[in-house]
Structures are given as structure tokens and as C-alpha cells.
């Protein structure tokens, strides 16, 4: 079975059960200050889980691009990945436990033909915030699952979300596939982590909101949020022991073999896997329509870590100059049909990889010498935080690289101390990436909704003053301020800044009511709306109109009237990355 066949079978199954297909959202979250990347299919759907209406309806299905770097150190084993594709289906206040579990069961056993006796499930054991989920257990039983394959666990195992500090969450029921490996002992079960049972699907019953005080209150509606790991299921369907053995990776592995003249075998396996995974992730980040460039902050820093780590493993295998870009070509060719943005952004992806290779290539050799010197003289088998930080600061060594070098020689690194120095350093420029990556979803308060409205007005004003060549490249909103990135290749003059600010304030003073209309992408285009147009024909979107000033495709939520914004002030205009400027602004409303 190919990835394409698996994706099609999933999407079609849920379409037959009344779901509308939506396209994968960007890997870079919109308007969300607290997560750097989309880590699950539910992220772009948070407003709808909280009660906004979705233009495609109350039953949705998709295949979402996701990136998680929490387990980056595990990459290299059989199944850990940073970038992955999550198949998901949602009920936005529509069906609940019975339909969700019944559909999952039918999809796995009937559509995919997985023998039912290879499947175990887990359900929430109950605590002070929610009752024991006997309802889900009973549904599983009614479908023929014996009690010994239904396991009850607590919050650690059977509760999902919020993705950050606050947001929608709820108990879940997880579905595990028995790989057929021998049990690790008498108590071998889905929670033991020995690898016999692999988690393939998570059905979350999102019915609570966790607030900043840690209390759980019922949401307006009961939702279902599920996620099925495409790469993992592909592995199972093809009887592969590792995701790297599937067609998702075969061409990448072959390209590394060709370029390095080495073989993918036990000895080189880890290096191959890290390089293949990290480059695949990097291509998807760089190839996103909201592409970021390697840098020392936020998404750019994660990207830089991925690229540099891949580069280091490739250079250990004596890959020639330009190897990363050549492997990227293979990745784009393999994934481009399903993700046309990769083709669209091909030139950018290749140029950025070449540039980063050049920048880091020079520093690597010198840095390696320095690292070895530090390790030689390290006391007590541990490299000091200051030295790890110097390697980062002077030679661009990501922490993982220093840790690996030290570990290879039987040393450890004061990683905690490094994180502190790193955070202090980041604080000087911006809040720390590592911290933020652990953070939560944006709140959806009135303050952020108003700032979100302000970004639409700002976007329109920028295009008026600087021309139609200006496009939004990113947006990040906290309750205190907005930050807006846009394509423009020089510093704005003070007059231009003043004029943009004035235009936004004129739109606010006009006290225009804000309307939201649902239409197809084609209709939105015709109506003159701006925004990211998806590639899917006929997809329904929301278009927000703010008086005669702004018409933009967007998920919301927004203020009801521009007057709510009070007044608008630009605090800063600065460079963000090559060809991209950044504005920080506040409102008083
Ligand atoms: N949000 C849940 C997860 O990421 C289900 O999609 O596992």
C-alpha cells in the first residue's frame, strides 16, 4: 500500500460518512504566539472546537502536515520522526463517542483489513476532573473487544490537550496495534513502551476547556478530535519494521546512498535516518507558503538545528558539497504532487539549503576542533554549559550536536545550564524558542480577536501604501500586541509608517461592521479577497469584510465592529529575514 492509497482510503471512508475534506493548514501556525509549529491536526481547528462555525460543516477530515521536535533525540530509531502526516477526522459538536469509536473500528478492520485481535484499546480511568469512561469501554465491548484488551489509564495516558497551557481538551481512547513481538513480561500492555503495542490512533473527546488556573469547564459543544499517524500505519500495512523502510523514505535513502557512496546498513543506519528525517522536515518548513528561513530565533532556529544536524551526519559520510540541495530535489519530486507548495517554493528551498550549508560548512571543521579541545580538558566527564554555549555562539553548534560529540567520547554536557544561557541570550532579542515550543495555544480572548482584526486592517493599509506586491508572511498575536510579517524589500520610511498607521485609524474611526461570508475559494478570489488560497477546487472558506477597507480569507474570530479597536499604534518596523519586514503594533481598544 502506498501513502497515497492510505490517504485516499481514509479520506474517502470519512467522506462516505458525511465528512468534508479540508486541506492541510500551514506548518507555521497563524496568529498563534505560543506554538512554533503545527503539531496536530486540531491546532488550526481550535476556534471551531471552541464554537465558531466552520464553513465546511460539522464533520471534517484531512491529512495535516505536523512537526514535533520534542523527541528529536529519539530520531534515528525505527519510528521517531520530526515531520509527519496526521490523518484526522473531527466532529464539531456533531457525533460523539459511539459514532467515533464505531467508525474507527470499521475503518481499521474493514477498510484496512487489520485483524481485530491485533487491536487493543485504552480508555480514561477517571479522576476529579472527569468520570471513568465506562461509556467508551462499553462501546468497545459491544463491538467485540474483550475486557482484557480494554485498558484503563489515568490523565498521563488517556487525556489529550490542551496543546499548551489553556485550551480545549478531554479524555481520549487510544488504539494500539499488536506488532506480534513477544510480550516483554507478565505485565506487558499498551503502556509498557516495549514496542509490542504501537499506538496508531487517538480519539479525543474534547468537551472541556482548561483555563489558566488549571480548572476544567465544559465546552459549549462536545467535539471529537482524532489523529492517525500516516507513516506508522503505512509501516503496519506493509509489514515494515521501520518507517524508513516505507516508500515515504526509500527515495531519500537511495539518494543518500548515491551521493555518499555508502550503504544503508546497521552501521550507518542512524546517520541515514537522522539526515533523511531532518531534511524531509526542513524541506517542508522551507517549502511552506509561510516559509521561514534559518535564523537564531523561533521557527528559524528549529529549522537551523534540523539542517545543521543533517549536514553534520552527511559530512561524516563524506557527502559532496551541495548534497543537501540534491536530496531536497528528490524530496520535492516525491512529495510535490500531494504538496504543490513544495514545487512552488522549490527555488527558495534549494537556495536556503545551499546558503546554510555554506554558512555552517566553514564553521563545522573549526568548531569540531574546538569541541574536541573542550572535551579533552573537561573535568568530571562533563562539558560545562559555558563551553557548549560558546560552541553555539561562535560556531553555530546546536546543543544536540555538542551532546552527540560529547557522548561519542563518553562525556555528558550540562544541558540545563546551556538552556539557561540560551534563554538569557534569547531574552535579549525575543522570548526563547525552546520555552515557546513548550507553550500553549493562543488564547481566544476579546483582546486577541481585536488585534487579529487590526492585522487585517494593517495588511490592507500596507498594500495601499506600499503596493500590491506586499503579502502577509506571518502573524503572531499575544493579548498585548500584534506582530505582522510581510514581503517588502527595504526599510519603510517614517512617512510610510505614519501613513499606514493613519489609514488603519481611519478604518477604526469609520466604525465599520465586520461581516463574515462563506463561499468557495473561487468565489473568494473573484470577490477580490486576499489571503492564502488553497489548491483545492471548490473548498469553502470564510471571508471577512471590514467596511470598504479590507476583504480577507480567514478563520476568525474577529471583533464585530472596527470601532472596538480604539486606536492603533505602530511601535516598530524592522527586518525579519531577507525580503521580509516586521511590524509590531498595539491597540488601545
Ligand atoms: N490531537 C490528538 C493527537 O494529537 C488527536 O488528533 O493525538
**For residue 576, what pLDDT is reported?**
86
The predicted structure's pLDDT at residue 437 = 31
- CA proximity to 260, closest of 306, 220, 310, 307: 310
Share of the chain above pLDDT 90, in %: 66
> What does the mean pLDDT of the chain come to?
90
Topology (CATH) of 446-587: 3.30.980
Distance 204 CA to ligand 1 centre (A): 7
Residues 6+ apart with CB under 8 A from 383: 374, 375, 402, 406, 411, 412, 413, 414
Strands 412-413 and 382-383: parallel
The most confident of 8-22, 408-422, 536-550, 552-566, by mean pLDDT: 8-22
With the most atoms of ligand 1 within 8 angstroms of its CB, the residue from 225, 229, 441 to mutate is: 225
Which burial class, exposed, middle or buried, applies to 213 when counting CB atoms under 10 A from its CB (0-12, 13-18, 19+)? exposed
Task: State the pLDDT confidence band at 426, using cuts at 50, 70 and 90.
Answer: low
- Nearest-CA residue for ligand 1 atom 6 is 227
User: Distance, CA 432 to ligand 1 centroid (Å)?
Assistant: 25
CA of 39 to the centre of ligand 1 (A): 9
For the CA of 86, the closest atom of ligand 1 is 6
- For cell 554536557, what's the residue? 413
Contact 104, 175 (CB under 8 A): yes
Q: 3-240: what CATH class?
A: alpha beta
- Residue 218 confidence (pLDDT) above 70: yes
CA–CA separation, 252 vs 275, rounded Å? 9
- The gap from C-alpha 268 to its chain's centroid, in whole angstroms, comes to 29
pLDDT at residue 25 greater than cutoff 60? yes
- Residue 478 and residue 464: Cα distance in Å, rounded? 26
- Cα 54 to middle of ligand 1, angstroms: 19
Nearest-CA residue for atom 3 of ligand 1: 227
In the predicted model, is pLDDT for residue 442 greater than 50?
A: no
Q: How far is the CA of 571 from the centre of ligand 1 (A)?
A: 38
Name the strand (E) or helix (H) holding 170.
strand 167-178
pLDDT interval class at 438 (50, 70, 90) = very low
Q: Rounded to the nearest whole angstrom, what is the distance from the C-alpha of residue 66 to the centroid of ligand 1?
A: 11
Position in ligand 1 atom list of the atom nearest CA 203:
5
What's the pLDDT at 476? 86
Q: Find the angle CA(520)-CA(524)-CA(529) to the nearest 5 degrees.
A: 155
Helix (H, G, I), strand (E, B) or coil at 330: helix
pLDDT at 38 over 60: yes
Mutational test site, ligand 1, from 37, 40, 89, 198, max ligand atoms within 8 Å of CB: 40
Q: Is the pLDDT of residue 18 over 70?
A: yes
Instruction: Say how far apart CA 470 and CA 480 lie, in whole Å.
Output: 25
> Does the structure show a pLDDT above 80 at 462?
yes
The 10 Å Cβ neighbour count of residue 172 is 27
- Beta-carbon contacts of residue 226 (< 8 Å; ≥ 6 apart): 88, 89, 90, 100, 104, 201, 202, 203, 204
Q: How confident is the model at residue 557 (pLDDT cuts 50, 70, 90)?
A: confident
Residue 163 Cα: closest atom of ligand 1: 1
Ligand 1 site, CB within 6 A: 40-42, 88, 160, 202, 204, 225-227
| Alpha helices (H) along 488-536 | 494-509, 521-526
H helices, E strands: number in the chain: 19, 18
pLDDT at 290: 84
Q: Residues 483-488: what's their mean pLDDT?
A: 92
How far does the centroid of ligand 1 lie from the alpha carbon of residue 388, in Å? 35
What is the average pLDDT across 154-171? 90
Residue 161 has pLDDT above 90, yes or no: no
Residue 427 pLDDT class (50, 70, 90 cuts): low
Report the separation in Å between the CA atom of 156 and the middle of ligand 1, taken as the mean of its atom positions.
14
Q: Is the pLDDT of residue 443 over 70?
A: no
Instruction: Answer whether residue 544 shows pLDDT above 80.
Output: yes
**Ligand 1 centroid, distance to 228 Cα (angstroms):** 8
Section 286-294 average pLDDT = 88
Q: How confident is the model at residue 536 (pLDDT cuts 50, 70, 90)?
A: low
Q: Which atom of ligand 1 is nearest to the CA of 42?
A: 1
pLDDT of residue 568: 96
Distance 114 CA to ligand 1 centre (A): 21
| Per-residue pLDDT band at 34 (split at 50, 70, 90) | low
Give ∠ CA 223-225-230 in degrees, rounded to 5.
165
User: Tens of pLDDT along 342-367?
Assistant: 999 999 999 999 999 998 887 888 88
User: How far apart are the C-alpha atoms of 352 and 350, rounded to whole Å?
Assistant: 5
Which positions ≥6 away from 569 have C-beta within 8 Å?
A: 501, 585, 586, 587, 588
Helix or strand holding residue 235 (H, E): helix 230-237
Mean pLDDT (whole number) for 145-159: 96
Q: How many other C-beta atoms lie within 10 A of the C-beta of residue 427?
A: 11
Lowest mean pLDDT among 37-51, 94-108, 361-375: 361-375
Measured in whole angstroms, how far is the alpha carbon of residue 307 from the centre of its chain? 17
Tens-place pLDDT, residues 69-81: 888 878 998 889 9
Confidence of residue 435 (pLDDT cuts 50, 70, 90): very low
pLDDT at 225: 98
Nearest to 88 by CA among 36, 17, 40, 157: 40
Query: What does the pLDDT average to over 140-147?
Result: 98
pLDDT, one tens digit per residue, over 175-216 is 999 999 999 998 899 998 888 999 999 999 999 999 888 899
Q: Which residues pair with 209 in a beta bridge?
A: 168, 217
Amino acid at each position: 500500500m502506498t501513502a497515497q492509497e492510505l490517504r485516499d482510503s481514509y479520506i474517502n471512508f470519512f467522506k462516505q460518512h458525511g465528512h468534508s475534506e479540508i486541506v492541510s493548514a500551514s506548518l507555521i501556525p497563524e496568529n498563534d504566539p505560543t506554538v512554533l509549529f503545527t503539531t496536530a491536526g486540531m491546532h488550526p481547528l481550535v476556534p471551531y472546537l471552541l464554537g465558531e462555525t466552520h464553513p465546511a460543516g460539522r464533520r471534517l477530515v484531512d491529512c495535516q502536515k505536523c512537526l514535533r521536535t520534542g523527541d528529536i533525540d529519539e530520531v534515528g530509531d525505527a519510528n521517531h520522526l520530526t515531520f509527519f502526516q496526521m490523518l484526522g477526522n473531527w466532529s464539531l459538536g456533531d457525533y460523539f463517542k459511539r459514532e467515533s469509536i464505531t467508525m474507527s473500528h470499521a475503518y481499521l478492520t474493514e477498510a484496512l483489513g487489520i485483524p481485530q485481535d491485533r487491536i487493543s484499546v485504552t480508555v480514561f480511568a477517571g479522576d476529579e476532573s472527569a468520570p471513568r469512561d465506562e461509556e467508551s469501554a462499553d462501546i468497545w465491548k459491544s463491538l467485540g473487544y474483550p475486557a482484557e484488551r480494554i485498558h484503563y489509564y489515568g490523565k498521563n495516558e488517556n487525556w489529550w490537550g490542551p496543546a499548551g497551557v489553556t485550551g480545549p481538551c478531554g479524555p481520549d481512547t487510544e488504539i494500539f496495534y499488536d506488532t506480534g513481538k513477544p510480550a516483554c513480561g507478565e505485565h506487558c500492555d499498551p503502556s509498557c513502551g516495549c514496542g509490542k503495542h504501537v499506538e496508531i490512533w487517538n480519539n479525543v473527546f474534547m468537551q472541556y476547556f482548561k483555563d489558566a488556573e488549571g480548572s476544567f469547564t465544559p465546552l459549549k459543544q462536545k467535539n471529537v478530535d482524532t489523529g492517525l499517524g500516516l507513516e506508522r500505519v503505512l509501516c503496519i500495512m506493509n509489514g515494515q519494521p521501520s518507517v524508513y523502510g516505507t516508500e515515504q523514505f526509500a527515495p531519500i535513502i537511495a539518494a543518500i546512498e548515491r551521493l555518499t557512496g555508502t550503504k544503508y546498513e546497521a552501521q550507518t543506519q542512524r546517520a541515514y535516518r537522522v539526515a533523511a528525517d531532518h531534511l524531509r522536515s526542513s524541506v517542508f518548513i522551507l517549502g511552506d507558503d509561510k516559509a521561514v528561513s534559518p535564523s537564531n530565533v523561533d521557527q528559524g532556529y528549529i529549522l537551523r538545528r534540523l539542517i545543521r544536524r543533517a549536514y553534520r551526519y552527511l559530512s561524516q559520510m563524506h557527502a559532496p558539497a551541495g548534497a543537501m540541495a540534491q536530496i531536497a530535489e528528490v524530496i520535492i519530486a516525491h512529495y510535490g504532487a500531494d504538496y504543490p507548495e513544495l514545487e512552488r517554493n522549490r527555488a527558495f528551498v534549494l537556495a536556503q539549503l545551499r546558503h546554510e550549508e555554506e554558512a555552517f560548512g566553514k564553521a563545522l571543521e573549526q568548531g569540531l576542533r574546538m569541541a574536541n579541545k573542550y572535551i579533552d580538558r573537561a573535568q568530571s566527564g562533563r562539558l560545562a554549559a559555558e563551553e557548549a554555549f560558546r560552541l553555539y555562539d561562535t560556531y553555530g553548534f546546536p546543543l544536540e550536536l555538542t551532546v552527540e560529540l560529547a557522548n561519542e567520547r563518553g562525556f555528558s554536557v550540562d544541558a540545563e545550564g546551556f538552556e539557561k544561557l540560551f534563554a538569557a541570550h534569547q531574552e535579549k532579542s525575543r522570548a526563547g524558542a525552546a520555552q515557546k515550543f513548550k507553550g500553549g495555544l493562543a488564547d481566544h480572548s476579546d483582546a486577541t480577536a481585536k488585534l487579529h482584526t487590526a492585522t487585517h486592517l494593517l495588511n490592507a493599509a500596507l498594500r495601499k501604501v506600499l503596493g500590491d506586491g506586499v503579502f502577509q508572511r506571518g502573524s503572531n498575536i499575544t493579548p498585548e500586541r500584534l506582530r505582522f510579517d510581510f514581503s517588502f524589500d527595504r526599510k519603510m520610511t517614517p512617512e510610510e509608517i505614519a501613513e499606514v498607521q493613519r489609514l488603519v485609524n481611519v478604518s477604526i474611526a469609520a466604525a465599520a461592521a465586520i461581516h463574515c461570508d462563506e463561499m468557495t475559494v473561487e468565489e473568494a478570489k473573484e470577490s477580490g479577497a486576499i489571503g492564502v488560497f488553497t489548491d483545492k477546487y471548490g473548498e469553502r472558506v470564510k471571508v471577512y469584510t471590514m467596511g470598504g477597507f479590507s476583504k480577507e480569507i480567514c478563520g476568525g474570530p474577529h471583533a464585530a465592529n472596527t470601532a472596538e479597536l480604539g486606536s492603533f499604534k505602530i511601535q516598530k518596523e524592522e527586518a525579519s529575514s531577507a525580503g521580509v519586514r516586521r511590524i509590531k503594533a498595539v491597540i488601545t481598544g
